[in-house]
Amino acid sequence: MIPMYARIREALQRSSRIATMTTSLTFCLLFLVGCSAERMISQAGSKYKYWYEISEPILSDRLQYGDDKIFIQFRIDGSFVNFRLQNITTQDLSILWDEVRLVVDGRDTPIKFSGSTKALAPEEEWKPTVVPLGSSVIDFLVPAENLQLIEEVWQEQDLFPTRDFGDEQLRSAILESIDKTISIVMPLGIGSQTERYAFEFTVTDIENIPWRRYIAPKRRFGGAEGGFSLKDGLLMGGLVVTFTAAAVYFLLVRTPTPEE
């Protein structure tokens, strides 16, 4: 019969081995994740941020516009033109999506917005978004071809290139994008009338930013540029769980216990 203190010592030694192995595996996996992230960043090259001003119907570095009917604020990130539209009329207004146009650097393209789930065909019509008086709506615009559903994940493309992939020619092209424009035509139904609002945004500066400062925008449709995708994260999490479970099994279950 093995004394009680010997059994306790054996159990503590086994627990110590499990903790050591688990810690080692965790550090190894974190190292692999870090190396993979560094490799992805290296392949993507430098990251760039575009700064805009609104040049039509007013000139301002604050991306907003207001009159006696609406107040609208814009935020342009790498892929989307985001906006918040407030109705300050005395009646409901509606966004006439089938007439909205988005022109990027002179190229007029079909659009997607939060209410769309597929590419816009010429014969398609979307129901207007109604904004009751005194309320507001938050939405976005993106070229339809820049937002594609691939394997149940929405994949985005930039409005203008934001990564140079280490290519000097592409880097030069990005830095020469100052004065390029994004234009929006947004017809709004107000009562029995249609008001056609037109906005133009001009690139005023392009900043080379460190990847550590880049925060991927949160999207209503999943997927975002840069970094790991949700699928990558789930895969890595599964590997951590699998290796940890294997370590516990072989150290705890398969290790022979002393005979009493």
Give 116-163 pLDDT, tens digit per residue.
754 444 445 678 999 999 999 999 999 988 888 777 777 889 999 999
Q: In terms of domains, do 184 and 90 share one?
A: yes
Q: What is the DSSP letter of 178?
A: T
Q: In terms of domains, do 86 and 187 share one?
A: yes
Residue 203 is assigned to a structural domain of this protein: yes
Q: What is the DSSP letter of 206?
A: E
Residue 259 is assigned to a structural domain of this protein: no
**Going by C-beta distance under 8 Å and a sequence separation of 6 or more, which residues neighbour residue 164?**
45, 46, 48, 170, 171, 174
Domain holding 182, by residue range, is: 47-226
Measure the CA–CA gap between 141 and 95, rounded to whole angstroms: 12
> What tokens does 57 get?
């119907």
Q: Are 191 and 178 in contact (CB under 8 A)?
A: no
Residue 212 scores a pLDDT above 60 = yes
Q: In terms of domains, do 26 and 148 share one?
A: no
Q: In terms of domains, do 38 and 152 share one?
A: no
Q: Are strands 129-131 and 93-95 parallel, antiparallel or unpaired?
A: antiparallel
Q: In terms of domains, do 59 and 160 share one?
A: yes
Q: In terms of domains, do 14 and 117 share one?
A: no
Task: Read off the pTM.
Answer: 0.67
Q: Are 142 and 151 in contact (CB under 8 A)?
A: no
Range from 134-148, 156-170, 200-214, 236-250 carrying the lowest mean pLDDT: 236-250
Burial class (CB in 10 A: 0-12, 13-18, 19+), 29: middle
Q: In terms of domains, do 61 and 180 share one?
A: yes
Could you tell me how far CA 208 lies from the centroid of its own chain? 19
Residue 109 scores a pLDDT above 90 = no
